[in-house]
Amino acid sequence: MRTLNYKYFLTAALLPFVLSGCLGIKHLKENEKLLYRQRIDAPRHIDASALQGLHAQRPNRKFIVRPLAPLVSIYYFGYRFYDQEKMIKKKERFEKKFDAKIAATKKEKRINNLQFRKQQKSEKLTNKIENGNTVMQWGEPIAVFDSSLVRVTLERFHSYLFSKGYFTNKVHAKVDTMKIYPKRVKVTYTVVPGQAYILDSIFYQIADTAVNNVVQRNTQTSLLKKGERYDEDNFTRERERLDLLLKDYGFYDFSRQYIEYATDTSYKTPDRKVAVMIIINDPAKRGYHKKFTVDEVRFTTDIGINKPGKERTGRTYRDIQYSYYNDDYNLKILSQRVFIKRGELYNRSKTLNTQRQLALVDAFKFVNINYDTANGKFTANIFTSPLPRYEWSNEAGVNVTQGYPGPFYNMTFKKRNVFNGMETFDISGRFGFEGVASATEDQNFYKSTEAGINASLTFPQFIWPFRDRVRFRHAAYNPKTKFTVGYAYTDRPEYRRTAISANGTYSWQNNKNRLYQLTPINMSVIDTANLSDDFKQLLAEQAQLGNFSLLNSFRPSFVNSIIFGVTWNYRNYGNQERNSGFIRAQLESGGTIWNFVDPSLVTQYDLEYFKYLRLSLDLRRNNVINRNTSVAYRFNSGVAYSYTKNKSLPYEKFFFAGGSNSIRAWRPRRLGPGSFKPRTTEDPDSNGDPVKDGLFDYNIEQPAEILLEASIEVRQKLFGFVSGALFIDAGNTWTFQQRKRTVNNVEVDNGNSQFRINQFYKEIAVGTGFGLRFDFTFLILRFDVGMKVYDPARDEGDRFVLDKVRFFKPYATKVTNGETTTYTNYREPVIYNVGIGFPF
């Protein structure tokens, strides 16, 4: 007991010094103190996160545990090697050297090149002079407490609350010096908002009757509503709404400056009511707001191209005056993407939609639309610059998928405007190697050769016998038809697999965030050959384990289906500036044709055929906490049901769990189904005979028909281009029919693979871990370490395995009791995942 007290006392005595070093307190000057913590004490209905963004001074960022601020150490480590005067002199020498080179050069092209290089280098040096060297910029200087900035923060808080309708708010700041750590300061801001003022009456003062009619007809969409709290942000957004609304009704030169607000806060003062007058003034010179009608629409298809001695020619189609050097585009197709009509009122939304739709056809470098009011006419001018008709691209690098890294090479050729209707032809080839885990041996991996070629032809319209009137109406939804054919080749030591595919897809968008895709034709012929003897034996063993799908998937087969999918991308999912979301739902009906046509058409060629229904749903969300931290969520699910006699699915249509983009504590595609136990691995003994070692064998992929998985990941920028992540993954797969295992023709209990309402929640696997992300701008390289927390394949009562995780070689202790051999004290391996981009 005395020893324990002594150690406790020694630790407590040394802790302040250790933590002071971690926080960088040694870098404080005399009489300086560290701003250690800031806290906001506010009622629940006040947005504390918005107030946090108004701090005039911030504490140093801390990681893992609160008293650890490594960025301070990084900053002062770089400061040791930094000399600002030396950097200033270096910039002066550099600029003098380049000025001499520029003065000695007479060629304009070289002068421009030198000036560009000088500007780039000069900007980098200026940045280092102002902000320190690269290491210093990765870190941050110590946050020295400044009492004057507390007053600035109080003023900001007061202004913010006032703008939200809390006109009588009070904010106080309490500055405490921590007794145990006298060099640290914590500041507590107490917010007393008072009672909010409410909008009670909204009036309009609009002299122009035409403007007044438009505004009054659209009051239901107003952002200022009676009975709601006064909020200056709503006033700003309402001014923007009115501006855009009137520009959609022909008021081309209307400006937000014409909109004013008059508020009366003394109105029913005891009840804290606010009366609002919305005033729309008339132009001083004209005295009224003019509606503009489009007199002409002019479209120049090749702006930026100069052909000396040659003039543009043109013609008119559907009231649009086209001009060009070469007649390269089908004007019927091009006109479908122009929604500005002669004789109609100016409409800002149609103008923007025209610009967006023309940009989406992959035919133009840029699209610019402006309006000309000269000569008493209101003319819409559309200018486009064509992209190169032919385009080559080559890509080589290291492929990182679910296996081991390997080199690859991609080559792509694109031809635009194939038939002068803005069609696009793409052909791409890929060749690469990858290390893959052996399917028949443990702890071995082999080279897998991957090759493929795909060709596609995309039309900027629906290929269907629609009337022109219907085609022009559909053009607002960015319709596309894409036909694709492809050939894929995989060569592994265990087998060689080829696939020939063909499909046709319609796609359209009802807005810029929502994409629909319908694939009425999706066919592929898959063949597997050169199966090794060991692999054939493995397939037979899997059939004994009840995994007949694996055996069927390696037979020659013909797969056809109809697919419909919806993708909703909210606020450009993945951006780090604001919250965003992503939803993808897909419904697939496989083999539908065989309900009406005799399948002997394919069975006579000894091909398997399939009939199935498949539904998948993927939901993602990214919440931005602050400029350095975000929390990402994902829920992924799916169900597939086969109604063929053999109750089997094409292998590519099964669901799998595990891997760098799934449950990261399990190897790719190795989790599940349910609580079904994998077989145990075998190691050779001294005589070379196989001996069970008690560890699960995760070499075999585990296909299933039902998938449920969810993940949550906290992402935080650490320093420079390095970010860290902590994550929790949970999920599993299941089958509709119980997978049975037979040994020597005797059925044995090996766990449950079937989805059961009263049991599935007990079979949710849980994993956790941490990782690093390296943001190189052009790509994000990801490294994750996954650790099992709850393994449903273990016996009940022994499924919590986090305390059994081992970072190096796993093992199990063999216990022999007579003729019975068991394994105890097993250790679970961690799983290392390498990937490109975020996991979701």
Q: 672 by DSSP, 3-state: which?
A: coil
Q: Which of 692, 702, 733, 638 is nearest to 822 (CA)?
A: 692
- The Cα–Cα gap between 406 and 434 comes to 4
Domain 198-280 fold: Ubiquitin-like (UB roll) (3.10.20)
CA torsion, points 31, 36, 41, 44, in degrees to nearest 10?
Answer: 160
| 701 phi and psi angles, rounded to 5 deg | -65, 150
Q: Using CA atoms, how far apart are residues 525 and 502, in angstroms rounded to an integer?
A: 9
- Determine how many CB atoms are found less than 10 A away from the CB of residue 78: 17
Q: Give residue 260's Cα distance to chain centre.
A: 40
* Calpha distance 75→143 (Å, rounded): 12
Same fold, 198-280 and 296-386: yes
Contact between 193 and 46 under an 8 Å Cβ cutoff? The reply is yes
Write out the two tokens for 380: 């819409």
Round to whole Å and give the CA distance between 430 and 487. Answer: 11
Among 52, 34, 60, smallest CA distance to 153 is for 52
| Residue boundaries of the structural domains of the chain | 83-131, 198-280, 296-386, 494-652, 655-840
| Beta-ladder partners of 682 | 692
Q: Which residue's structure tokens are 């022999």?
A: 816
Alpha helices in 565-711 (DSSP H): 600-603
SS3 of residue 772 by DSSP: strand
List CB contacts of 307: < 8 A, sequence separation 6 or more.
325
Task: Round to whole Å and give the CA distance between 576 and 632.
Answer: 11
β-pairing, 780-790 with 765-775? Answer: antiparallel
What percent helix, strand, coil does the chain show, rounded to 5? Answer: 25, 40, 35
pLDDT tens per residue across span 273-282: 999 999 999 9
- Alpha carbon distance 285, 264 (integer Å): 30
Q: Is 551 exposed, middle or buried (0-12, 13-18, 19+ CB in 10 A)?
A: middle
What is each CA distance from 58 to 37, 143, 149, in whole angstroms? 8, 7, 10
Those residues whose C-beta lies under 8 Å from the C-beta of residue 760, and which sit 6 or more positions away, are: 674, 708, 732, 734
Is the pTM of the predicted complex or chain greater than 0.85?
Answer: no
Looking at residue 204, what is its pLDDT?
94
Q: Cα–Cα distance between 132 and 119 in angstroms, integer?
A: 19
Q: What is the pLDDT of residue 355?
A: 94
Q: 746 is written with which tokens?
A: 């005797």
Task: Give the separation between CA 502 and CA 457, rounded to whole angstroms.
Answer: 12
Torsion of CA 541, 545, 547, 553, to 10 degrees: 10
Token pair belonging to 177: 């010096």
- Residue that has been written with the tokens 């077989």 in this structure: 679
Residue (of 224, 288, 218, 205) closest to 249 by Cα position = 218
Tokens representing 120 are: 């780039």
Phi, psi of 469, rounded to the nearest 5 degrees: -60, -40
Burial class (CB in 10 A: 0-12, 13-18, 19+), 107: exposed
Helix (H, G, I), strand (E, B) or coil at 313: strand
Query: Cα–Cα distance between 551 and 646 in angstroms, integer?
Result: 12
CATH superfamily, domain at 296-386: membrane protein fhac (3.10.20.310)
* Rounded Cα distance, 666 and 832, in Å: 9
Give the pairing type, strands 273-280 and 296-300.
unpaired
Contact of 492 with 530, CB cutoff 8 Å: no
Minimal CA–CA distance to 484: which of 463, 505, 499? 505
> What DSSP letter does each residue of 713-752 carry, written as one string?
EEEEEEETTEEEEEEEEEEEEEBSS---EEETTEEE----
Q: Identify whether 673 is preceded by a cis peptide bond (ω within 30 of 0).
A: yes
The segments of the chain whose pLDDT lies below 70 read: 1-22, 64-67, 267-269, 397-405, 435-447, 542-550, 681-694, 741-749, 811, 813-825
Q: What is the C-alpha separation between 404 and 443, in angstroms, rounded? A: 13
Q: How far apart are CA 499 and CA 515, in angstroms?
A: 28
Report whether 285 contacts 300 (CB < 8 A).
no
SS3 at position 458: strand
Q: Give the tokens for residue 170.
A: 């009070």
DSSP string for 513-533: TEEEEEEEEEEEEEEEE---H
What's the one-letter identity of residue 560?
N
- pLDDT of 289 reads 94
